[in-house]
């Protein structure tokens, strides 16, 4: 089936990192890299789409008895979050998913603003038995759930966040004026950045790295209402104290710049050339400092694996598309590898101890720059995930993921990094992994 929903070329690049289960939202969309003058074309690597997983699953848990059904194709290439698969601990999963609600589910005009009903179930991995269950009404199709390091989780409501536990008991957590659109958290989960659309002045306050530059206020492809503003609050998670508030015209952007316990990391580009700088902007708006520099023919994309390790993708002028893990001090490289030029919309999921990282992508039939008229459903081979040791870059497993969920939520890593769960068809497949190369106590 060929979708009428064709994406702009700028959405195809492999560089964008969506901060997966530790920080999901919708990824930034860099342009396809151009060939630098006089340097010749960069090397290209076409990602091989794996037909089968590199490991056999240790557990296969049927999900049809829980009420899950594979959706139709109208949601594809819309980056809607319709599922969220998460480890509560090493023995239990929290599986939540969209529940179909009638004829409107067959509409091809679904977008991020349509509300949805979510069914949540706690699942015992060894037995496959479902435990506590709950249903939530979510105002749209954006990310709705974030796991916390203590096995609890946050659920987004229309105006804030609720906190839930392993028994799916929910309590009110934080509330703000306006409509909460998305949040970000640092790997240590000391801070939350909460982004709400509110009525207010059209004038923007002085902004730190929490708001990307935009040209015009746009919502759903239309000019936003004159008094709609995006209010960004940086909040201490334990106390709820707001340490910084900034405002900007409400636009279609749906993610902030990556953050750790020290502050935001902003990306600066020289007016000419392909040189980029990464700067830290501390919470509270104090003077920041330089983190490092990189050469790239496309905007480098980055996300935190731990508080001190960044995962960066860039378009090297000679070596092609590259992925590396770097220390935040001087961007000292831990490891680097080539990534395929026929991939797009990567999603990053990390273990809570930071020892394992999974990178999930759509795999295209051709190199991304070939799609000058945009990407359609039948241009996509499928979706795959590759799991790395965060310290060494060693690939410990790879697998196909079907059905495709380009909005994420279909891959999870256990807190220890020893298990990976993938939603495949009508089952959750759980894979046992070897011990990470570096122990949690040694990983800084």
Enter the pTM of the model. 0.83
pLDDT at 60: 98
Task: Tell me the percentage of the chain whose pLDDT exceeds 90.
Answer: 52
Burial tier of 150 (Cβ tally within 10 Å: 0-12, 13-18, 19+):
exposed
Per DSSP, the residues of 233-255 read EEEETTT--EEEEEEEE--S---
Find where tokens 């089936």 sit.
1
1 occurs within a structural domain: no
Domain count, the chain: 1
Measure the CA–CA gap between 36 and 240, rounded to whole angstroms: 47
Produce one character per residue of 321-336: b if its CB has 16 or more CB atoms within 10 Å, e if not. Answer: bbbbbbebeebeebee
285 occurs within a structural domain: yes
pLDDT at 36: 40
Instruction: Quote the domain boundaries for residue 58.
Output: 9-432
- Segments of 16-141 assigned E as strands: 18-19, 59-62, 83-87, 92-99, 116-124, 130-138
pLDDT at 428: 98
**Average pLDDT over every residue of 249-277:** 83
In this structure, what token pair is assigned to residue 373?
Answer: 């008229």
440 occurs within a structural domain: no
**pLDDT tens-digit series, residues 320-368:** 899 999 998 877 899 999 999 899 889 999 999 999 999 999 999 998 8
Measure the CA–CA gap between 443 and 351, rounded to whole angstroms: 12
442 occurs within a structural domain: no
**pLDDT tens-digit series, residues 66-79:** 999 988 887 888 88
pLDDT at 227: 60
**Average pLDDT over every residue of 19-44:** 43
For residue 234, the domain's CATH number is 2.130.10.10
**Half-sphere exposure at residue 336, Cβ-oriented, CA atoms within 13 angstroms:** 14
Rounded to the nearest angstrom, the gap between the alpha carbon of residue 387 and the centroid of all alpha carbons in its chain is 15
In this structure, what token pair is assigned to residue 143?
Answer: 């990310």
Taking the CB of residue 378, how many other CB atoms lie within 10 A of it? Answer: 10
416 occurs within a structural domain: yes
Q: Is the pLDDT of residue 20 over 60?
A: no
**Average pLDDT over every residue of 55-60:** 97
């Amino acid at each position: 089936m060929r979708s009428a929903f064709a994406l702009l070329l700028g959405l195809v690049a492999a560089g964008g990192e969506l901060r997966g289960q530790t920080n999901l939202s919708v990824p930034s969309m860099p342009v396809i890299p151009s060939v630098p003058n006089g340097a010749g074309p960069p090397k290209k690597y076409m990602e091989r789409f794996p037909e089968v997983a590199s490991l056999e699953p240790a557990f296969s848990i049927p999900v049809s008895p829980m009420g899950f059904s594979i959706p139709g194709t109208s949601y594809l290439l819309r980056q809607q979050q319709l599922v969220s698969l998460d480890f509560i601990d090493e023995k239990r999963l929290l599986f939540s998913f969209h529940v179909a609600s009638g004829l409107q589910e067959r509409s091809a005009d679904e977008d991020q603003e349509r509300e949805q009903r979510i069914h949540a179930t706690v699942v015992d991995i060894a037995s496959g038995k479902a435990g506590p269950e709950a249903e939530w009404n979510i105002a749209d199709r954006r990310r709705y759930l974030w796991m916390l390091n203590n096995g609890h989780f946050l659920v987004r409501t229309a105006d804030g966040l609720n906190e839930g536990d392993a028994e799916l008991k929910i309590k009110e957590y934080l509330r703000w004026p306006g409509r909460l659109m998305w949040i970000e958290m640092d790997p240590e989960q000391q801070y939350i950045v909460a982004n709400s659309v509110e009525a207010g002045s059209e004038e923007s306050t002085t902004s730190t790295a929490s708001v990307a530059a935009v040209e015009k206020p746009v919502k759903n492809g239309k000019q936003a209402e004159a008094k709609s503003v995006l209010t960004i609050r940086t909040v201490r998670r334990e106390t709820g104290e707001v340490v910084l508030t900034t405002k900007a015209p409400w636009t279609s952007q749906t993610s902030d710049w990556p953050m750790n316990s020290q502050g935001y990391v902003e990306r600066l580009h020289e007016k000419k050339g392909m040189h980029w700088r990464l700067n830290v902007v501390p919470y509270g708006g104090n003077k920041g400092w330089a983190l490092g520099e990189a050469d790239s023919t496309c905007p480098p994309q980055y996300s935190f694996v731990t508080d001190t390790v960044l995962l960066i993708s860039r378009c090297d002028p000679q070596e092609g598309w590259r992925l590396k893990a770097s220390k935040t001090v001087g961007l000292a490289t831990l490891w680097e590898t080539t990534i395929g030029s026929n991939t797009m919309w990567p999603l990053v999921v990390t273990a809570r101890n930071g020892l394992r990282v999974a990178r999930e992508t759509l795999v295209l039939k051709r190199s991304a720059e070939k799609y000058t008229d945009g990407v359609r459903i039948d241009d996509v081979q499928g979706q795959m995930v590759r799991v790395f040791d965060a310290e060494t870059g060693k690939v410990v497993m790879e697998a196909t993921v079907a059905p495709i969920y380009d909005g994420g939520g279909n891959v999870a890593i256990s807190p220890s990094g020893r298990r990976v769960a993938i939603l495949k068809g009508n089952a959750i497949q759980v894979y046992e992994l070897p011990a990470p190369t570096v122990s949690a106590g040694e990983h800084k």
